[in-house]
């Protein structure tokens, strides 16, 4: 599964790709972390834990799959439930 993460927004309307990878290229353990993080983000979104959205706010746009795929938007300063999954997807130490 392909995952693309872009950082967007702000006053200047920045759009930059910060991570692109395919879970097929990861170890089983790393791929499982990605799947778990995506499931946590999907669950939070389903519960209505939407991130703050505004033209001047920075957000992460997470696209899962090829083509249009499934897209999630998470604030650069996410809620506690979204912070850890976002860090995993950005492949940052937690």
Q: How far is CA 10 from CA 14, 35, 55, 59, 67, in A?
A: 6, 29, 6, 8, 25
The pTM assigned to this predicted structure is 0.83
User: pLDDT (tens digit, 9 = 90+) per residue, 83-93?
Assistant: 899 999 998 64
Sequence-separated (6 or more) residues with CB below 8 Å from residue 89: 3, 5, 19, 34, 37, 38, 41, 62
- Whose CA is closest to 53, among 17, 78, 70, 19? 78
Lowest mean pLDDT among 7-11, 27-31, 34-38, 41-45: 7-11
- In b/e form, how buried is each residue of 36-72, taking b as 16+ CB within 10 angstroms? ebbebbeebeeeeeebeeeeeeebbbbbbeeeeeeeb
């Amino acid at each position: 599964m392909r995952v693309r993460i872009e950082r967007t927004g702000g006053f200047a309307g920045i759009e930059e790709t910060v991570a692109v990878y395919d879970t097929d290229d990861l170890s089983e353990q790393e791929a499982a972390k990605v799947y778990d993080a995506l499931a946590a983000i999907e669950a939070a979104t389903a519960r209505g834990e939407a991130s703050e959205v505004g033209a001047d706010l920075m957000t992460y746009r997470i696209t899962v799959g090829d083509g249009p795929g499934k897209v999630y938007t998470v604030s650069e300063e996410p809620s506690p439930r979204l912070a850890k999954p976002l860090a995993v997807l950005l492949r940052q130490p937690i």
